[in-house]
Amino acid sequence: MNAALRARAAADWAQVAQLEHASIASFARFTLQLLAVGAPPQLVEASLRAGLDEVAHARATFRLASRYAGAPVGPGPLPLHGPVLGDLSLATIAAATVTEGCVNETIGALEAAEAAAGCEDAEVRDVLNRIAEEEARHGELAWAFVRWALGVGGDDVRRAVGAAFEIAEAALQVPPPASDPDAVELRRQGLLTARERHEIRLRGLREIVRPAAAQLEFGPGA
């Protein structure tokens, strides 16, 4: 790789690592939210495990960013201003879980698997395969919680969950980003361009999220 591409790879991996680092806090918050609404113990336990998965993801991706940068790259303080837990109503938590878990974790697993398939670096490929497997499990946790919330919640939960899925569907109408001239080389390093991520998101919404959402029972006792 030339110096410019190496610098871009370092920056892209650093961005991935920052997102993984922020996910540690997201699962810590989700665990507390699960406790606040009296979710089943198995969901609380799965959320705790997911947080530890994110610790490993952040450590591995910061290591990759450091390798490409040729210097240590790591996290700084994570801003946690304002009401960290947010609205603790079941409807609000369920809607956020649709967005962050049912959609984003599910699609994140697809992105990691796709990136691993085109990656020529063994170390990077191993990291991506682990992320793909564990993000898919995090997505399953989100679907399980939303299913439980629909079963114990009322009309406000059903409306909130339905609205969250409608917002996700709106992403199908967003035009794709421009092609990236570095796409081929970035794929060899396990990195996806914005256009590739857009295409994977559309496929995930159509082939996974939409059918799974259709199977949810939007009624009492679900």
Q: What b/e sequence results for 133-160 when a residue is b if at least 16 CB atoms lie within 10 Å of its CB, and e otherwise?
A: ebbbebbbbbbbbbbbbbeebeeebbeb
Q: What is the pLDDT of residue 1?
A: 78
Supply the pTM of this predicted model.
Answer: 0.92
Q: Is residue 189 packed enough to be buried (19+ CB in 10 Å), middle (13-18) or exposed (0-12)? A: buried
- Chain-centroid distance of CA 44 in Å reads 18
Q: What one-character-per-residue DSSP string does 132-146 give? A: HHHHHHHHHHHHHHH
Angle between helices 90-97 and 122-152 (to 10 degrees): 150
Cα angle, residue 205 at apex, residues 150 and 86 outer, rounded to 5°: 50
In whole angstroms, how large is the CA radius of gyration of the chain?
A: 18
Domains in the chain: ranges and CATH: 3-72+87-176+183-214 (1.20.1260.10)
Local confidence pLDDT in tens for the 222 residues of the chain: 799 999 999 999 999 999 999 999 999 999 999 999 999 999 999 999 999 999 999 999 999 999 999 999 999 998 877 777 888 999 999 999 999 999 999 999 999 999 999 999 999 999 999 999 999 999 999 999 999 999 999 899 999 999 999 998 887 788 999 999 999 999 999 999 999 999 999 999 999 999 999 998 654 433
Which pair of tokens denotes residue 20? 């993984």
CA-wise closest residue to 183 among 199, 196, 198, 200:
196
